[in-house]
Every structure is written in C-alpha cells, then in structure tokens.
Structure 1
Amino acid sequence: MSRLARPLGARSCAVSRGERGIRAVIAVFLAAFALNALDTPWCAIPAGVCATLLAIGAITGWCPTDLFARTSSETDVNALGYPEARQPLTVDR
C-alpha cells in the first residue's frame, strides 16, 4: 500500500471479503430479530438501526465507529512535499 493510499485504507473498517461477508450475515440475522420483535419497539428499533449500519459497512467497507472518530483540524503534509490546494500557498516575490 502506498503512502498516499494509506489514510484511505486506514479509514475502512473491514479489510477482507471474509470480514465483510461475516458482517453481512450478522446484519441479516439482526434484521430478522428486529422484524421478529416489532411488537416491542424499544428492542426492534435499536436492532434495526444496528442491522442497517452493519449492512452499510458490509457493502461499502465503511466503519460505523468512524462516526465517533475525531478529525484533526490541520491537514497532513503530503508524502511528496509538494504544496497542494488544501494547504495555504504563498508566493514569494
């Protein structure tokens, strides 16, 4: 994995197809439990939300815990050292 692609890879939660498949299976069972518990909404609603987040994570590789991750306000310097548009550019004359 290159240095430029590492931050993108670090943000994804599932690294292999097997882990994503396991999450999909768990999401299906959790959704079935949520549908079975529709007469008790205090149990069905959280189970449905968790099943939805697991299904999204299984399909896209996105990690639901990224919602709670803090992002830094400063941008990181790129690996090559060239200025980018997201960094302040100065012109010396």
Structure 2
Amino acid sequence: MSTLITDTEDVTRFCGVFSDMTLAHDVAATLGCREAEALAGILRALGEPAAADMWLDAHAHGDEPGDQHYQPTPEPYIVPIDPMEDLQCDSCQ
C-alpha cells in the first residue's frame, strides 16, 4: 500500500489546491470526521500544518453536538450598562 512519493510536482500541486480557503469552506463540512482527519494528516505530513488546521476548522462548522470536531457557537458579548447613565440626572454625573 505504501509507495515512495517521487513526483514533487504532484505534491506541490496537491498542497496548492488543498490550501485554498474557498475549497475548504465549500467541501469540509460535507466530509466525515475520519475523512477530515485523514486529509489534515496528509497536509501536515507534506508540511502544510496551517492548511490542515484550516480544513479541520472548516469541517467543524458542519459538525453537530457529539461530533468529534464540534465547536459550540460562543455566546455574544453583552456590553454592561452603567445604571447611572440611564437615570440621566445631573447629580448622578
């Protein structure tokens, strides 16, 4: 099953194609977790850790609770209100 990679042009082309953010966002959510991990592993092995992380991050957006890469949506930050501002009286300022 294992063969030595001898065509570096193919490796360069593969890395170039799969380092594309648009492709990752269009395709990654349709992959299963095992498939996304396998692709990320190949990209890391070929010296593209940023592309590997990009694919896993894009894949995680399609995961649901309980899936390996699921990332819950963070709660929005609510800006605290100064209660004295709401009173709008001169003595509170």
* Fold shared per TM-score above 0.5: no
- What is the TM-score normalised by the length of structure 2? 0.29
- What is the TM-score normalised by the length of structure 1? 0.29
